[in-house]
Amino acid sequence: MTSITSLLGFGAEGWGDDLASGALVTIALALATLPFGLVLGFLLSLAKQSEDWALRLSADIYTTIFRGLPELLTLFIVYFGINGLLKAASDGAGLPALALSSFASGMVALGVVFSAFASEVFLSAFRAIPKGQREGAAALGLRPRHVMVLVILPQVLRVALPGLSNLWMNLLKDTALVSVVGLADLLRQTQIAARVTREPFLFFGTAIVLYLVMTAVSSVVIAWIERWTRRGEPAR
């Protein structure tokens, strides 16, 4: 039996470099999904506050569907469904075969799930801002756009941050699901290593430790961002 250090080491013999590249893919997927999910979630929260009932209803339908479906099923539907449509379209048009990669499918599936949850976080944050803030800003003569950007948004971000950081943790953990459709992320590299070396406990244990490190680093960064958003408040 080879020693643990040589199994987890870097280089031709060890699997350390494979796990590290997998971890990078995991982080890249989560970071690539985040802006897309945040922007979409924010727009959805605006739609939910709109005076237009059709817009509100549409946003609610979106949330109901993507909050209710299991993430794995959403991923399968995106991966098999969109690829099926793309194949039919490219065959029909006589184009070379188009396909959505597992990374892109993961981005779409995790992004829509993230945005569905984020819209609710933003919505409750908007509701936590007293009406007087909007009225006061308007009384000072700020344009509606400036009221939003200078007065409302900074406060909304501050209130929404704990909820959003929860969602980020879920996103980071959900990236592991994309390994099922073949993305070479941390979990998939771990599975390969476990199968080849017949040391599943060691490798899955290592993967769990690496995920823990990622969530721990995230919570440090989030605490730092939270302090930054509260810099305007009097020190206690």
Partner 1 sequence: MKNALDPPLAATPPDVLPRRRPGFAGVLALGAWLLAGLSLVAYLAAAWNPDLLARYAPIYLSGLWTTIQLVAISFVAGALISVPVALGRGSKGFVQRDLSTAYVVLFRGTPFIAQLFLIYYGFGQFRDFFETIGLWGFFREPWYCAIFALALNTAAYQAEILRGAVASVPKGQWEGAKSLGLSRLTTLRKVILPQAAIVALRPYTNEVILMVKASAIVAIITVYDLLGETRRAYSRTFDFQTYIWAAILYLLIVELLRHATNFAERRLTRHLRR
Taking CB under 8 A as the criterion, the residue among 121, 174, 183, 193 binding partner 1 is 174
Residue 109 contacts residue 30 (beta carbons within 8 Å): no
Of the pair 38, 214, the CB lying nearest partner 1 is at 214
Taking CB under 8 A as the criterion, the residue among 77, 89, 149, 217 binding partner 1 is 77
Could you tell me the two tokens for 138? 């308007």
Does 61 help bind partner 1 (rule: CB under 8 A)?
A: yes
Q: How far is the CB of 232 from partner 1 (least distance, A)?
A: 28
Does 229 help bind partner 1 (rule: CB under 8 A)?
A: no
Residue 147 contacts residue 137 (beta carbons within 8 Å): yes
- Considering only the stretches 8-16, 27-35, 200-208, 221-229, report the one whose residues sit in contact with partner 1 under the rule CB under 8 A: 200-208
Indicate the residue type of 223. Answer: A
Q: How far is the CB of 210 from partner 1 (least distance, A)?
A: 9
- What distance lies between CA 147 and its chain's CA centroid? 29
Residue 33 contacts residue 111 (beta carbons within 8 Å): yes
Does 52 help bind partner 1 (rule: CB under 8 A)?
A: yes
Taking CB under 8 A as the criterion, the residue among 72, 129, 153, 184 binding partner 1 is 72
Q: What is d(CA 75, CA 33) in angstroms, rounded to the nearest whole number?
A: 14
Residue 60 contacts residue 119 (beta carbons within 8 Å): no
Q: How far is the CB of 181 from partner 1 (least distance, A)?
A: 11
Of the pair 195, 230, the CB lying nearest partner 1 is at 195
Q: Pick the closest to residue 182 from 71, 104, 119 (CA basis).
A: 104
Residue 158 contacts residue 229 (beta carbons within 8 Å): yes
Taking CB under 8 A as the criterion, the residue among 6, 50, 101, 133 binding partner 1 is 50
Does 20 help bind partner 1 (rule: CB under 8 A)?
A: no
Q: What is d(CA 87, CA 118) in angstroms, rounded to the nearest whole number?
A: 32
Q: For residue 195, give the H/E element and its range.
A: helix 186-197
Binding site for partner 1 (CB under 8 A): 47, 50-59, 61, 64-65, 67-73, 76-77, 80-81, 84, 169, 173-177, 179-180, 187, 190-191, 194, 198-201, 204-205, 207-208, 211-212, 215-216
